[in-house]
């Protein structure tokens, strides 16, 4: 099966909301890494007129940020909370950049 598709063939990236499921810390770390990797591709996508892909990326960043905020409220582990705090600041920086340039 092609990466990014479900068994029904629907692209996972086309969801309009973040969902109500609680994110795991590990899941947030993986999601964060993926969003950081994709940023360069989004610059190219905008240059080539693929605005739908850019908007999808923006929605994903906002969802990631919101899920990080939710997780920080319930996380007991101070080391993980500190790591998430740093990652959240980085996501805020990326969101500011994306608002201005994408």
Q: Is 76 within a domain?
A: yes
At residue 97, φ and ψ (nearest 5 deg) are -60, -45
Q: Would you say 38 and 49 are in contact if contact means Cβ atoms under 8 Å apart?
A: no
Residue 73: give the domain boundaries. 24-101
At residue 36, φ and ψ (nearest 5 deg) are -65, -40
Q: Would you say 54 and 46 are in contact if contact means Cβ atoms under 8 Å apart?
A: yes
Q: Is 2 within a domain?
A: no
Q: Which tokens belong to 94?
A: 């990326």
Which of 34-43 are b and which e, b meaning 16 or more Cβ less than 10 Å from the residue's Cβ? ebeeeeeebe
Q: Which tokens belong to 87?
A: 């990652």
Task: Give the span between the Cα atoms of 36 and 27, in whole angstroms.
Answer: 14
Residue 69's pLDDT band (boundaries 50, 70, 90)? Answer: very high
pLDDT at position 15 is 56
Q: Is 93 within a domain?
A: yes
Count of domains for the chain: 1
pLDDT greater than 50 at residue 66: yes
**0.85 exceeded by pTM:** no
pLDDT at position 78 is 94
Q: Is 13 within a domain?
A: no
At residue 11, φ and ψ (nearest 5 deg) are -75, 125
**Rounded mean pLDDT of the chain?**
86
pLDDT digits (tens, 9 = 90+) for 4-20: 444 443 344 455 678 88
For residue 76, the domain's CATH number is 1.20.58
Q: Is 18 within a domain?
A: no
Q: Is 6 within a domain?
A: no
């Amino acid at each position: 099966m092609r990466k990014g598709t479900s068994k029904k063939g629907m692209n996972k990236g086309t969801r309009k909301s973040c969902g109500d499921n609680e994110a795991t810390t590990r899941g947030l770390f993986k999601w964060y890494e993926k969003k950081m990797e994709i940023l360069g591709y989004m610059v190219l996508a905008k240059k080539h007129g693929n605005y739908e892909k850019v908007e999808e990326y923006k929605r994903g960043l906002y969802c990631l940020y919101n899920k990080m905020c939710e997780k920080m409220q319930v996380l007991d582990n101070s080391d993980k909370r500190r790591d998430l705090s740093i990652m959240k600041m980085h996501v805020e920086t990326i969101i500011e950049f994306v608002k201005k340039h994408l």
